[in-house]
Structure 1
Amino acid sequence: MDKQHKLQDTSIGENSPINVTDYREKIDQTFSFLVTGELQGSVFGTNIYTDDSNIAVAAVHAGILSVGETKSVEVKILPGQSTYQSSTQNGVTSSSYGAWPGSYMFITDMNASLTTITNLLNYRHKVNEVISISVTGLIEGPVFGTTIYTDDSNVGSAAVHAGVLSIGETKLVEVKILPGQSSYKGSTQHGITSSSYGPWPGSYVFIENIISSVAESMDLTGFRDKVGHSLYFLVTGDSGVPVYGTDIYTDDSNINAAAIHAGVVKLGETKAVIVNILSGQLNYQGSTKNRITSSSYGQWPGSFRFIDHNITSAVTITNLIDYRSKVNQILSVSVTGSLGGSIYGTTIYTDDSIINTAVVHAGIANVGETKIVDIKILPGETSYQGSTQNEVTSSSYEAWPGSYTFTTNTINCVMAPIDLLNFREKTNQLLSFVVTGKNEGSIFGTDIYTDDSNLAVAAVHSGMVTLGETKVIIVQILPGKSSYHGTTQNDITSTSYGHWMGSYSILSSIPTFKMALSNLVNYRDKINQILSFTVIGATGGSVWGTDIYSDDSNIATAAIHAGLVNDNEMKTINVKILPG
C-alpha cells in the first residue's frame, strides 16, 4: 500500500490530515475536516476505506464531494476490516486490499441518523430502496422474522441473526426496504433468537454481499463455491468477448458482455447488477440478443444468471391465466409467500391458482418470504389432485385448460448423451432427455439397463420411442444390479450381463408425488390409504416407534430409521396411513 501522499496543501484544510492513521485508536468517534475534492491519491475500499486512504480522493469516490469542491465532511473512525473492496465511482477508482488495522467512513445525513436509531420504522416509505447503514452487532434487542425482518426489529441484533455481523463488530451494511409481510417466522441463528409475528406493515432484508468489481477477472469462476447466492457486481457493457449460453451463462463467460446479451445493461453503460450463482448445467444454448451473439456449449461446472429488476413486474400478477399461450416457456416471477389464496393441484397447478399461495404449498417459499422463482407454463391437465402441504390445502379439480409448475419441481430436459455412465451418482433421481430412437448400439438388460447401455437404443427396446422418432423420455437413475436379463423387443436385441455398478429404467410416465411435510398429522383421516412422498433424509428430527411410527414423527428422520433413505438422500417413498 502506497504510504507516500504527495498532494498540494490546498487539497485539505489547514487543520485536516491527509489520512486518518493517527486517529486509529478513536474508534466510533466522529471528526469534521475541511476537505477539497481531489482525483490524485491512493484510496482502498468502497464506502469503508483503509485509514491511510487519502481523504480528499475518498470523499470524491464516496460522492461526498465533487472535484475542486471544498466543504466540511464528517468522518467516523472504524476498526480494521478483513477485506476492502475496490470499485469505480464518480470518476475515482479505488483499490482492493486485504486485512488492514484501521478504517473510516464518511457520515452523510442519511447514515448519520441511522447510526443513532435502532430500527427502520422511519424508512417504511422507501420501499425497494437500498440504503447503507453503519451498524454494530448486538445481542440484545427485539427481532422478528428470519431473513426478512419487521421494520421495528433492532437492526444491530437482526444483523447478527442474519449472519451479516458478529457481536461487537461495526461495519457498513446494505439494507433493502421491503413492503409489509403477512407473517414473519422466528428462528435461532448465530446466538440470536428472533420471534415469529403476524401481519406487519413494513420490513427489510440485508444485502449481505456489497457491490463487487470483477474488472480484473471479467468472469465468475472464482465464485463457484457460492451456489445459490445473489451477489452485486459493478459491470460495464462490453462486446467482442466470449459468452456461452442464454439467460443462464457459463461462469467463464465475460460478465460485461453477458450483461448486454441478457438485456440488463447497454454497451458502455456502467451499472450495478445482481447475479445469481448457479451450479453447472449439462448444456448451454447460444443465441443472438441485443447485438451480442453467445455460443452454445456442453457440460460446464459453473454458471450464473442475472436477476433483472424488469422481471419483477410479475409481482403484480396473481395467477397465470394470461400466459396460457406460452406453453413450455419459463417465466421468472417475484413472489411473496402467502396464505388464503385459492389453488388447485399438487406440483402442477391450474393456471388460475394464486401464485403466492401455490409457492408455499409447493415448498418453494415460506409465508412472508419474497424471492424470484422460475415457473414453467404447461398445457391443461385432465385432472388436478388436491393435498395439504406446508400448512396450505389445495383443492382437487377436473379438466382445466392451462397449468403451471415451479421448475424446482420439474426435471431439466436436455439432449440425451449416448449412455448414462456420468449420471451414476444421481441414484433415484428422475431426468428428462430428448432422444431419437436408434437400432445400432449395445444395450444390456430388459426394463432395467446397465448405465453404459446406449440410451437411444434402449428407448426403442423398451417401447418408449420408435425407430427414428424424436421424443422426450423420463429416466430414473438406479443403483447397480447383480444381473441383467437380455431379450428381443421391438426388433432390438439386448444382451444379458452379470454384476454392473449402475443402471437405469425408462419410465412410461412421470410418477406423481407430494413433497413431504415434516410429519403426517394432517393425513390422519386417510387411514389405510397408501400415499407417495418425496423425502430428503435428515437426522435430528423427533421420531416415536419402530416400523410403525406416530404420525407426528418427523418423516425425513423416520425414513432413515426405517432404512429407506440415507442422510441427505432424496427419494420417493410409499407410506401407509394407520390408525393410532
Structure 2
Amino acid sequence: QQAAYSEFLLDYGECKTLHLHAVGSHDRFFKVRQRDILSDALTSAGLSFMLTLSTDPAPTKPTTVYPIKMSMAWLEDNTPDTHGAARIYTWDSELAVAAYLEGYLQFGDDRPVTVFAHLLPAHPYFYKVTSRGITTTAANTGDGVYLSLFESAPVLTSTYAMNVTYAHLGVGLSVGSCQGVSYFQRNCDVLTAAAMLGLIKPGQTRTLYIHDIGAKTYFPASTRDGYSVADSDGTSRDSYTVTDTPTFYDPTASGPIEFTVNISAVPTAGSVTGTDIYTRDSDVVAAAYHMGLLKLNVATTLYVHDVGTYTGIFYRSLRNGIQ
C-alpha cells in the first residue's frame, strides 16, 4: 500500500485493483521521497516487484535509465543523505532532494514530477554544494546517477553546469575544508568557492560551471571578502574552479596561477613572510597589497608564481600598511 501510494497509484480513502508484477532479482534500489514517504536505498541485490493499475500493461524493468515520480512535500532537515552536485549524485543519495536542488521540484508541492535517473558506473567524483538552503556532501569515486527531465542519455564533459541559490547569509560558507584562491580542492563547497570568487551574493541565484582541472600540489592561502583559507601541505590533490560561463577555464594554463581580486579594505588578517619573495604559506592577497599591486575597490588580475625552494633570506618589511 505504501509503495502504491508513493507511486501515485493510490490516494487516501481510495480502493483500487492493482497488479503486482514479480520482476526477479534486482541490484539497485534507490532512496527517494515520493509524496510523504521516504524509501531506503539497498546496496545488495534482492527480489523485486513493480506495481501497475489493473488497466496498465505489464511494465519493463529498467536497467540504465529509471523514470521516477517524485515530489517534495516536506524536508526533515537541511543536511540530508545526499552526495553530489550539478545533476550528478551517488546512486544511494536521496534523489528527491537532489532533484529539488536542480530545480526540478518545488518545496511543499505534492504534484508528481517524472525525473530520469541515468546510471553512471564508477563516476570519478561527486561535488559538495549548498543551494536552496540544503547542503550536500562530497564523495569519491563510485557508481552514480545523472538526474534529468529527459530520457535521452546525457553527454558528460569535464565541465558541470548547475543553478546555485545563495539562500541566506552564513549558509554553506564554512571554509574549513576549502583551500585555494582561483582553484580549489575538490572537497570545497561550490557555493563557498563561488562566493570567494565574487560570482554570487546572498539572495542571488546564478548559473555556475564547475571545471575539473586535475591534480595540484599548491593551493595558495588567501583572505578576501571575509573568507580566509590556509595553504595546503604540498600533497597532490584533485581540484576544480568555478566560472559563470560554460567555456572551460584553467587558471594555471599559462603556468602561474591567475586570479582576479577586488578588495574594499587593507587585507591585514592574512599573514605575510618575506618581501617580494614570500613563503609559500603567505596570504597571496595580503602579499600583493604589500607589494603595491592592489588598490582598494579596483578589480585586478594577479599571477602567483611558484618559485620552488628558496635558499635566500625572507626579509621583513613594512609596506603599504602591512608588516
Q: Structure 1 length normalisation: TM-score?
A: 0.28
Report which structure shows greater RCO (CA 8 Å, sep ≥6): 2
Structure with the higher helix share, 1 or 2:
1
Q: Structure 2 length normalisation: TM-score?
A: 0.45
